[in-house]
Amino acid sequence: MDYSKKSLELHRKTRGKIEIKSKVSLKTKNDLSLAYTPGVAAVCMEIGRDRQLSYTLTNRASQVAIVSDGTAILGLGDLGPEAAMPVMEGKAIIFKEFADIDAIPLCINSTEVEDIVKFCKLIEPSFAGINLEDIAAPRCFEILERLERELSIPVFHDDQDGTAIITLAAIINACRLFDRKLNDLHVVINGAGAAGIAIAKLLIHAGLKEVVLVDTKGAIYSGRPEMNRIKQGIAEKTNRAKYQGDLKSSLIGADVFIGVSRGNILTEEMIKGMNDAPFIFAMANPEPEIMPDRAYKAGAAVVGTGRSDLPNQVNNALVFPGLFKGLLKSGITEVTPEIKMAVAFSIAHSIEPTRDSLMPTAFNKQVVTGIVDVLSGIQAKKATAE
């Protein structure tokens, strides 16, 4: 199927993918008086006395903002906020279909850190959580760090931590399938933007033996010149052996390749230089770093990509619906590394993996249910300890 052509036809026909529907009837004068004036004044007065009642007297408890400036849309780059809308609408329907959360796309006309932080702070009273999306690095790191400190509702950047969680889940299932251990793995991540750095941080927290990040200038190591603050920070936590050189040399002796960069840069020769039966996760879109048939030919044990038309899709859509549903239900307001790991393990263990079905599909209802149960358990344990 020509998905590009068919998708354009769909969006022209439906004029987007979302709409707002009423929960209550408006068929009579009494209906209108209850839902709006004069009856609604009493509801406003109640919330005025206790702002927390906005979670029970309005839709706020089921409402998430999807905030984007359109500077890092999929693999397409900076196309602007208007061009980000189709992606944000897509995330909104995934939220609704899989977690029954009302997610509102808010694509804003600024790329300034202060503007985006202020915007999110200003809209906080209307939402129970904020999902940052498609905001380019390195600004996205500062925005997330600021909002996590300055807001009282959970904030999650899907391009960072959603990708990290689902990547860890894929590695967990590859280890289950081939009887490997996480702490024995030497991983090379190609791409040191939002996703690559977040993946590296979570894999380090998970206890992997070695994590090496590679960007367009080669392996990142402590002391490498001309790195920004974010790369300098991750350099101090990764690549303990201080590997230097390009992607090919960095992969020698590695067990896992993770690609969050650009298509067609991983070769069969590079895979042959890795340890026997490596795990290959070539997640660039729309073209993976290497196609699965070529990776298997070079000796890969298992291959995952970001594409839905190939086996073993490694997709953030498995993360954010259940994560936000769990956050909203449990009342957890901070997505800690421990929570990210718990979500990854929950997703991984929602199926018994096979070589061609390494990951659950987004239609597997156990994924969302499992994440909600895990987060509820974490919150209950925390409450008991306190």
- Looking at the annotation, which residues are catalytic? 36, 91
> Is 373 marked within a binding site?
no
| Residue 31 is assigned to a ligand binding site | no
Q: Is 312 annotated as a binding residue?
A: no
- 133 among annotated binding-site residues: yes
Q: Is 285 marked within a binding site?
A: yes
**Whole-Å CA distances, 33 to 39, 41, 369:** 6, 10, 38
- Binding-site members for (S)-malate are 285, 315
Annotated binding site: 133-134, 159, 285, 315
Question: Which residues are annotated as part of the binding site for a divalent metal cation?
Answer: 133-134, 159
